C-alpha cells in the first residue's frame, strides 16, 4: 500500500457509525481505536458490531491501541492483568482486521535500560508471535503511558534482539518530551509502522493549542521527506487532541483542514 489518510475514531458504537460515515464521505481510508483502562470493559460483541459498521462504509482499521498497562510490572497481579489485556487486544485486533497493534513496552521503575530490555526479552516473545499469527504488526508507543521506550536508544537496544518491533511515531509527543523529533524518522524511518499527525503551537514555552496540521510548529514537510526516503507504506492517522480542536464542529474542521494540508505531500 502507499500512504493513506485516516484518523483516531471515538469508541462508542454511535460514534463509530458517525466517524465511518464521515470517513466515507470525505475520503478517509481508515480509523484508529485506542483504549486506556476502559479496555477491560470492551466486549467481543461490541468489537464485532464495530467491524460490521466499518464494513458497511468500506473503512479499514489502521490500528488498535491499548495504553497504560504495565506488561513488566513488578507486582504479579498487575502484570497478569496487563498480559490478559494484551491477549484480548490481539483477539479483538484480529476481529477488527487491524493492520497494527499498538502497545507500550511496560516499565520497571528505577531499573537500567539494559535491565528493562532484558525483561522485555523475557515477557514479549510469545505475544510477538501471537500478534504476527493474528495478521498484525506490533508498534510500540513512546515517552508516556507505562512504556520504557522513551528514547531512540531504547528502541535500538530492542532492535538488536527483535528487529520486527516497530514504532508508533507521534512527532508532537517527541517534541513535547524535549527531543529532536526529526531524529528518529531520519535515522530509523524504516521502523515506523504507524504515524500520527498531531499539531502543536507553543507560545512563551507553553503548549497553547493543537490545531490542524500546518498551523503550528511541527515541520511536516521534513517529516514526510524522511517517510518517503524510508519508503513508508502505511497510514497517516490524524489525532484530534486538546480542549478546542477535538470535539464537535472544530473536530470536523481539524480533520478536513489537516487532510487538505497533508494531501500536498501525497501522490
Per-residue model confidence (pLDDT) at position 103: 98
pLDDT in tens, 232-256: 999 999 999 999 999 999 999 999 9
pLDDT in tens, 36-81: 999 999 999 999 999 999 999 999 999 999 999 999 999 999 999 9
| Residues contacting residue 133 through CB under 8 Å, at least 6 positions apart | none
Asked if 101 and 138 count as a contact pair (C-beta separation under 8 A), the reply is yes
Asked if 108 and 115 count as a contact pair (C-beta separation under 8 A), the reply is yes
149 in a domain, yes or no? yes
Confidence band (pLDDT; 50, 70, 90) for 145?
confident
Give the domain CATH number at 113: 3.20.20.150
Number of domains in the chain: 1
194 in a domain, yes or no? yes
154 in a domain, yes or no? yes
125 in a domain, yes or no? yes
User: Which DSSP state fits 43?
Assistant: -
| Residues contacting residue 152 through CB under 8 Å, at least 6 positions apart | 183, 184, 187, 188
251 in a domain, yes or no? no
Structural domain range at position 96: 4-172+189-198+224-237
Give the residue among 63, 53, 89, 56 at the shortest CA–CA distance from 4: 63
11 in a domain, yes or no? yes
pLDDT in tens, 91-128: 999 999 999 999 999 999 999 999 999 999 999 999 99
Confidence band (pLDDT; 50, 70, 90) for 144?
confident
- Reported pTM: 0.97
Per-residue model confidence (pLDDT) at position 238: 98
Give the containing element (helix H, strand E) for 102: strand 100-103
| Residues contacting residue 124 through CB under 8 Å, at least 6 positions apart | 71, 105, 162
pLDDT at position 7 over 90: yes
Percent helix, strand, coil in the chain, to 5, is 50, 20, 35
Based on its alpha-carbon atoms, the radius of gyration of the chain, rounded to whole angstroms, reads: 18
Per-residue model confidence (pLDDT) at position 181: 98
**C-alpha span between 242 and 262 (Å, rounded):** 20
30 in a domain, yes or no? yes
203 in a domain, yes or no? no
Amino acid at each position: 500500500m502507499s500512504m493513506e489518510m485516516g484518523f483516531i475514531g471515538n469508541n462508542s458504537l454511535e460514534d463509530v457509525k458517525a466517524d465511518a460515515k464521515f470517513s466515507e464521505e470525505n475520503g478517509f481510508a481508515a480509523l484508529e481505536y485506542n483504549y486506556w483502562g476502559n479496555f477491560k470493559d470492551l466486549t467481543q460483541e461490541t468489537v464485532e458490531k464495530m467491524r460490521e459498521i466499518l464494513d458497511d462504509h468500506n473503512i479499514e482499521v489502521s490500528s488498535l491501541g491499548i495504553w497504560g498497562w504495565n506488561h513488566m510490572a513488578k507486582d504479579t497481579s498487575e502484570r497478569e492483568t496487563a498480559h490478559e489485556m494484551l491477549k484480548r487486544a490481539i483477539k479483538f485486533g484480529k476481529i477488527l482486521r487491524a493492520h497494527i497493534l499498538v502497545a507500550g513496552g511496560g516499565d520497571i521503575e528505577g531499573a537500567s535500560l539494559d535491565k528493562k530490555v532484558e525483561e522485555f526479552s523475557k515477557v514479549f516473545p510469545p505475544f510477538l508471535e501471537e500478534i504476527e499469527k493474528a495478521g498484525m504488526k506490533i508498534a510500540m508507543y513512546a515517552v508516556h503511558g507505562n512504556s520504557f521506550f522513551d528514547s531512540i536508544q531504547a528502541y535500538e537496544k530492542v532492535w538488536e534482539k527483535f528487529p520486527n518491533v516497530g514504532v508508533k511515531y507521534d512527532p508532537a509527543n517527541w517534541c513535547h518530551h524535549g527531543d529532536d523529533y526529526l531524529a528518529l524518522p531520519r535515522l530509523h524511518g524504516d521502523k515506523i509502522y504507524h504515524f500520527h499527525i498531531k499539531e502543536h503551537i507553543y507560545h512563551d514555552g507553553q503548549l497553547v493549542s493543537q490545531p490542524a496540521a500546518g498551523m503550528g510548529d511541527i515541520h511536516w514537510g521534513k517529516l514526510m521527506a524522511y517517510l518517503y526516503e524510508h519508503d513508508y507504506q502505511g497510514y497517516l492517522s490524524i489525532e484530534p487532541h486538546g480542549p478546542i480542536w477535538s470535539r464537535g464542529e472544530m473536530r470536523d474542521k481539524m480533520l478536513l483542514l489537516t487532510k487538505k494540508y497533508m494531501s500536498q505531500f501525497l501522490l
